[in-house]
Chain A
Amino acid sequence: MQYLLPEILVAGSALLGLLAMVVVPKVRGLASWVVLVGFLAAGVDAATMWNVTPSLIVYNSMAIDKYGITVTELVLLAGISTILLAWNAEHFGEEFPVLVALSVLGMMGLGGATSLMPVFLGIELLSLPLYILAASRHTPEGGEAALKYLLLGAFSSGILLFGMALLYGATSTLIFVAYPGIASHAQVWLLWPGLGLVVVGIAFKLAIVPFHMWVPDVYEGSPTPVTNLMAFGTKVGAAIILLRILAFGFYGQAGAWGLLLGYLAVLTMIVGNLLALPQTNLKRLLGYSGIGHAGFLLVGIATHNIQGAQAMMFYLLPYGLAAIGVFAVIRLLEQGQDGDRGVILSDLQGMAYQRPWLATVLIVGMLSFAGIPLTGGFVGKFFLMQAALFANRPGFAVGIVVGTLVGLAAYLRPLQAMFQRDGVSERVRTMRWSAAGVMVVAVAVVGTIGIGVYPAPLVHIVSQSANFYWLKGG
């Protein structure tokens, strides 16, 4: 049970934050502090478990290994950045940090799940607070975003659950790490539809192309810190659990699902980045870019080799760092005039001259999204391409290149708007720095460039954590 301490710390901080709101309502922002301390403590505690011998816990339904610990650290980073971006903003509601903590708890559960029950619970615990947070500003757009997210989320959860029921029928166990031994003589007619439905259900959460329609509206309508959590945390959770289910539970059938997912990945990369091209709202643009990045992540799963798993895990951090940097810029711009009206491209006018530091953050983030050398995004795309070529799938590599090229055009448009000389937009002039915002952008910029220049430590970490084949023995 001591292996679940990070989860317990996060859950405890959520409950304590809730209690603090009731017991000392005078002290504003106490819940944010409690949850922040809980996140940091959970992060430290998870890090101390790094060298623990991997084992199955909770009656084989959860695993404690480097894979899960890496996921925990990633989603805690997403959670901390979300709390910091909403720091001192009382209009988000006092319950904001508590709901963020609960959502992060769901993502952490996904990292360690080895049975379909924690997978479903994790996905629900991840999504339910996000539905609420999307509407937390009580704006009509937020309500629309929350309703769309809720309906499509419920729909996809139904698909996922149906698939799990079929898998249970085929194998008579929910513990998917036991499937490799069973799947070969399981009821094929239940197994394949079950697997297909589970993959579709998770693809909805990950926003893979035929199932991506909800993303732009939800990203645009939600408050910026919440969008940050959706873009980083949800992607980590969904990608990581898809990898563990497919690459371990169904490695015997990899020939069939690998190629199919590869086609979807190529489609997602190209369509997502193409649709990002004409966007004028920055959050919408990031929504489509998030779809494109889900395609890149999917390449790592579809190649089905150890390099692919490592490349996907590597890609998550530079993507997440760039995302929190760009969302922090949007949040800082929103702290100026006009409040929460969406930041559009013309709002960036003159930023490069008036606010050079803020402009630097946006440049670094966008270039990392696009995959320009010396940023983390480049190294991530490089490893993905290597994995695709090792797997003897040149088509995937071509897809990555085309997707990157189209994406580059989309990411340069905000930068072009930023460098326009004729006048400075009202938003850039009235934006205000905040200490919490500065912390987030500093971590994002240093991290993005750091990974791009010296990726060796991160490569070491992911090469150890993506190796979860110890489960074969356990």
Chain B
Amino acid sequence: MVGFAIIGVLLLIAGISVVVARQPVYSALALVGVTLGLAMIYLMLSADFLAVAQVIVYAGAIMVLFLFVVTLLTAGKEDKEPADTLAGQRWAGALFGLLVGGALAVDAVLHPAPKIAAPVVPGFGGLHAVGEALWGPAFVMLAGVALLLLTAVLGVLMLNHPEAAEKIAGHRRTTPPGVTVSPAEGEDGA
């Protein structure tokens, strides 16, 4: 319980700093803190494999990607925040967040979940158990997720087609009717 409280407080601090940090790099670094905290909670719940995967995949791979993007996009730019388009949206958002969080916290205190008496089965949360769950009961779902990822890849291919960029540029260009694109330009896209 004490461990959970400490990790919870750290997680909250990291989570809030993701949102309020002025530099995107700090946000990304705070997100590393969130992932590590989550991994520790997984460890406490004896989901060992999930904890390791969380660290490797999120803190390792995805955060590096984030950092690359942040470095490429924000290098040498001023960190001025755009003005709010909706008046008071921050306060409203904070208020709603506090209300929902508060309601869940009150619920958790008033109606605590029943204690699980039985100890976890040996090997629970290990590589073997996760593999058996994924390739056994959840196999159809795993296949569904695979198709979902395939769709995402297809979408990237389809929307970033070289012809597509040309076409959008063509829409923006205000070509008077009757004027045709020169053949050389047309062949570039083909």
Contact = CB atoms under 8 A, between A and B. Distances in A.
A189 B111 CA distance: 8
A347 to B, nearest CB: 19
Contact of A132 (B136, B143, B144, B159): B159
Given A125-B151, A139-B171, A93 B145 contact: no
B36 to A, nearest CB: 22
B178 interface: no
A121 B151 contact: no
Interface string A324-367: 00000000000000000000000000000000000000000000
B109 to A, nearest CB: 11
Contact of B155 (A11, A117, A131): A131
A353 B164 CA distance: 39
B137 A59 contact: yes
Chain B residues touching A, range = 20 to 34
A95 B140 contact: no
Given A135-B159, A138-B167, A4 B140 contact: yes
A128 B155 contact: yes
B148 A125 contact: yes
A135 B168 CA distance: 11
B22 to A, nearest CB: 25
A131 B154 CA distance: 12
Interface string A5-24: 00000010010001000000
Contact of B148 (A118, A128, A136, A187): A128
Contact of B107 (A122, A140, A190): A190
Given A93-B161, A129-B151, A135-B159, A140 B168 contact: yes
B147 A105 contact: yes
Interface of B is mostly: helix
Interface in A1-53: 4, 11, 14, 18
A461 B7 CA distance: 56
Contact of B151 (A58, A99, A122, A136): A99
B158 A136 contact: yes
Contacts of B83: none
B140 A124 contact: no
Contacts of A109: 144
Contacts of B145: 121
Contacts of A136: 158-159
Interface of B: 107, 110-111, 113, 136-138, 140-141, 143-145, 147-148, 150-152, 154-155, 157-159, 161, 164, 167-168, 171-172
Interface of A: 4, 11, 14, 18, 58-59, 61-62, 93, 95, 98-99, 102, 105, 109, 117-118, 121-122, 124-125, 128-129, 131-132, 135-136, 138-140, 143, 169, 187, 189-190
15 contacts: A18-B154, A59-B136, A59-B137, A61-B141, A99-B154, A117-B141, A121-B145, A128-B152, A129-B151, A132-B159, A135-B159, A136-B158, A138-B164, A143-B168, A189-B110
